[in-house]
Structure 1
């Protein structure tokens, strides 16, 4: 590549709504389903469901937990009082969506949900630690999504198209979608993130920021680099219409093959992990082999071996149960009262 080209290559490609939407799940999955994880797409989702995800308290819709519905009111009890503005507390039920989710759970024997772009990986603490992120009821799906900060990105066009040029009124239509992926245990040490700039695979990064001994063996790195290059050349490059993109792979146990986990726009919002985007720009204009970077020491600044991932998002299960159907202020008062009671009992 000439030096003239090198001086004209921007750090990021042009960000347009159509470019961003080419990386939502329903846009890329049909072309790559044979090399990806089995998945079901449910779209479009209703505005009511969007409002449920945006609502303050953490609770699951009625009828979604696969338990018999029992009344919690005796004949002498009154129904809940309305809020100060005269509106009843929020009540949500999605029987049709519940049915579609149950069908996918039956088909796949457990699912992992995501929205158009984002998965609720930060809410893994909500479900059983032995089967992280595995949903076996619609309630599990809703609870994961409601407990996640990550998925908030997908709820509004303004955040989805952040950084795009032009007036918002001219942006492409955007419909919220729910993706249910077949769940199975994933070894994070075999996940890699790959960066393609101007049609060239310039960098491969270890995705999980823990230190792994085997990833620091030169022979292993050669195997991974060769496997990724082969999969990209044979299965991804011929089908991907964009020349700038980021894709995640889950490698097989022998590291010889891989499954496409996701595609992401080549954009500031996509985590560059062990690279900076300036690094990747320099690699894109250099006549070098694809660079593979790993956490090379337990003392690496990004190594988090002894800290739970997304620990800042975790709250006690009791807090989730206590918050159900309540506003933030109501929950705060009840949580404070419960803490005071626990202190007095001690």
Structure 2
């Protein structure tokens, strides 16, 4: 199948600062911070995971003696660049004071894959600038937003001027079972997919499924379709209220291979687009604990929770071979 042609200007319509002013009353309270200092981009590109000075709300302490070098060094003995963002720190602290806590994202991507670095009981909950920086610095997802080359990859024309933005959204506990991704092609809603890949019994109750489809379709027809003036092929993420009667917009994304179709494939969505008398969008959820996509026994983005070296060493090896290789690697690393 072929995807709709998408231009660089189209892509920019999906960045947070483009759609949020239109739909802010239907979304989570958020603050967009830009322009960002150039050294903040340098920090995100730099090696290692470290907190900028002054960001952790703790008094500066040191265990170095007067005879020791106060500069951090990398493995080659080069001084590690120090970063500090007092102005940005102040903006983040102001948002935290206003919202109680925040979770961050950049223009398009959020650091969902780095949620494990903060307490499991409150994923992505940031109560200091240090939390924000650590989430962004530990995430593979947000690297997509750091250069125009990756942002506009696959577009039919050249890149547009592009400016990095930091988004601070009000944090509150979210029931992941009520998060949905909706697929719209040629201004017609084709499908609705559960976002969290775990089994939830109540989602398989037929009246509940019918209520979800009705609520999502009505919400889209009333609140999104009349206001959306970007490409007519798109996806949007929605969080339903507890009673499944209303929704909050979480994000918009292009209808393109870069957007995960979750429980659909794009071939299946294309087939749905060819059905002219379809009564309603198709809803897909995890229908059993044995569903192939279910991951209830494995943490999401688990590849980010162990050192990259461990992933490399494990390739093609059984457990004993991996243990021997890991032990040898440690032995070599401690040799003078």
Q: Deviations over 1:156-183 (max 9, x none)?
A: 11111111123xxx42101110000000
The alpha-carbon deviation at position 15 of structure 1 amounts to: 1.4
> Given the superposition, is the C-alpha separation of residues 276 and 114 from structure 1 closer, same or farther in structure 2, using an over 3 Å criterion?
same
2: CA distance, partners of 1:82 / 1:264: 40
The alpha-carbon deviation at position 270 of structure 1 amounts to: 0.1
Q: Report if the CA contact (8 A) 1:11-1:278 is conserved.
A: no
Q: Deviations over 1:137-193 (max 9, x none)?
A: 000000001111111111111111111123xxx421011100000000011100000
SS in 2 for 1:259: strand
Equivalence map 1:243-258=2 (5 Å): 243-258=232-247
Q: Report if the CA contact (8 A) 2:238-2:247 is conserved.
A: yes
Match of 2:132 among 129, 138, 141: 141
2: CA distance, partners of 1:221 / 1:135: 34
Equivalence map 1:34-53=2 (5 Å): 34-53=25-44
> Given the superposition, is the C-alpha separation of residues 337 and 182 from structure 1 closer, same or farther in structure 2, using an over 3 Å criterion?
farther
Q: Report if the CA contact (8 A) 1:41-1:180 is conserved.
A: yes
List gaps (5 residues or longer) in structure 1.
1-9, 317-331, 341-346
Which residue of structure 2 lines up, in the alignment, with residue 194 of structure 1? 182
- Cα-Cα RMSD: 2.3
Match of 2:208 among 193, 212, 220: 220
1: CA distance, partners of 2:289 / 2:72: 55
List gaps (5 residues or longer) in structure 2.
308-325
2: CA distance, partners of 1:272 / 1:30: 26
TM-score, length basis structure 1: 0.85
State the aligned residue count.
312
Q: Report if the CA contact (8 A) 1:11-1:281 is conserved.
A: no
Q: Deviations over 1:60-90 (max 9, x none)?
A: 1000000012344333333338779996321
The alpha-carbon deviation at position 54 of structure 1 amounts to: 1.3
Greater Cα shift, 118-127 or 292-301: 292-301
SS in 2 for 1:181: strand
Greater Cα shift, 86-95 or 22-31: 86-95
Which residue of structure 1 lines up, in the alignment, with residue 150 of structure 2? 159
Which residue of structure 1 lines up, in the alignment, with residue 283 of structure 2? 292
Equivalence map 1:102-141=2 (5 Å): 102-141=93-132
The alpha-carbon deviation at position 97 of structure 1 amounts to: 0.3
